[in-house]
Amino acid sequence: MAGGRYPKKLSAVVWDFDDTLADSIGARVYALTQVFRDTDIEGIDPLGFMLNLPETNFELSLIGLSDKLGKPSDLFERYKSLYWTKEPGLLQIYPGVHALLHRLESQTISQGLVTQKARSFHMEGVAAGVAVELEELGLTGMFPVVIGIDDVLETKPHPEGVLKALNRLGVPPEHALVIGDTVTDIQAAQAAGCWSCLATWGVPDGASRAARANPDFVMESPSGLLTLPFARQA
């Protein structure tokens, strides 16, 4: 944490989704594995590819891979189709997240979600988007405000999504904490004028990401946030 500083008042927490709130890596690897099989991409581990993405979005990474290997240019479209038409049950909530969500709710701290996924759409006639995944996880009522990539013109690290969520929650940035697992999550929080927490419980290489992002807090588990003063408020 930065110099032992804490928010004097915390009125809202804005969450990222993948690798922060929900463990979706199994579902993502499942879809990417099938894409690689269908397009005869060999010698690349789907999990390793997912965990070692550069600071760019997944779509651009797949476009770069198709160009490099001379493979079909629609790798991302294939991935989206497989991911969003998957059977339920591949998503999990990280241990400790439920307790943290309910602790914040009990303290009347508003909660929002800002994700690089689309909020709501249809894929091959099937309802899709993070709103569907929240429903699958039983979390819909916990997030009155959900901002997806279909709700913004600029994606993280731009602060548009965070600021839009806070505007709808009616909370100023200085009274909000953003929790996310990537450097871009932290940069979006900082650009918006929020407090920031780097979540390292979902993916490896937390120390490297912390050094690059310089967040206010670094937490190895959701339960760690329960030890901070603003989470212990009566």
Both 20 and 31 in one domain: the answer is no
In a domain, 128, yes or no: yes
Task: Assess whether pLDDT exceeds 50 at residue 231.
Answer: yes
Same domain? 78 vs 101: no
Most confident residue range from 100-109, 151-160, 217-226: 151-160
Is there a domain that residue 162 lies in? yes
The answer on pLDDT for 1 being more than 50 is: no
Digit-coded pLDDT (tens) for 125-170 = 989 999 999 999 999 889 999 999 999 999 999 999 999 999 999 9
Domain membership flag for residue 3: no
Same domain, 131 and 77: no
Residues 111 and 219 in one domain: yes
For residue 57, what pLDDT is reported?
76
Strands 110-114 and 145-147: parallel
**Cα gap 233→107, rounded to integer Å:** 7
- CA 110/CA 1 separation, integer angstroms: 22
Determine the pLDDT at residue 45: 95
Q: Which residue has the higher pLDDT, 55 or 41?
A: 41
Helix H or strand E segment including 64: helix 58-69
- Is residue 153 domain-resident? yes
The rounded distance, in Å, linking the Cα atoms of 119 and 16 is 12
Q: What CATH number did the domain enclosing 182 receive?
A: 3.40.50.1000
Query: Last residue of some domain: 68, 84, 100?
Result: 84
| Burial environment of residue 13 by CB neighbours within 10 A (0 to 12, 13 to 18, 19 or more) | buried
Domain count, the chain: 2
Expressed as residue numbers, the domain containing 153 is 12-24+91-231
**Rounded Cα distance, 21 and 180, in Å:** 8
Tell me the backbone φ, ψ of residue 103, rounded to 5 degrees.
-65, -45
Structure-token pair, residue 186:
């932290």
For the segment 113-136, the average pLDDT, to the nearest whole number, is 94
Nearest Cα to Cα of residue 116 among 85, 78, 162, 71: 162
Residues 135 and 214 in one domain: yes
62 and 20 within one domain? no
Lowest mean pLDDT, pick from 2-16, 58-72, 166-180: 2-16
Q: Are residues 20 and 133 in the same domain?
A: yes
Same domain, 144 and 65: no
End-to-end CA distance of the chain: 23
At 234 the pLDDT is 39
Q: Higher-confidence residue: 175 or 8?
A: 175
Q: What is the pLDDT, as a whole number, of residue 211?
A: 86
The answer to whether residues 119 and 194 belong to one domain is yes
User: What pLDDT score does 232 carry?
Assistant: 59
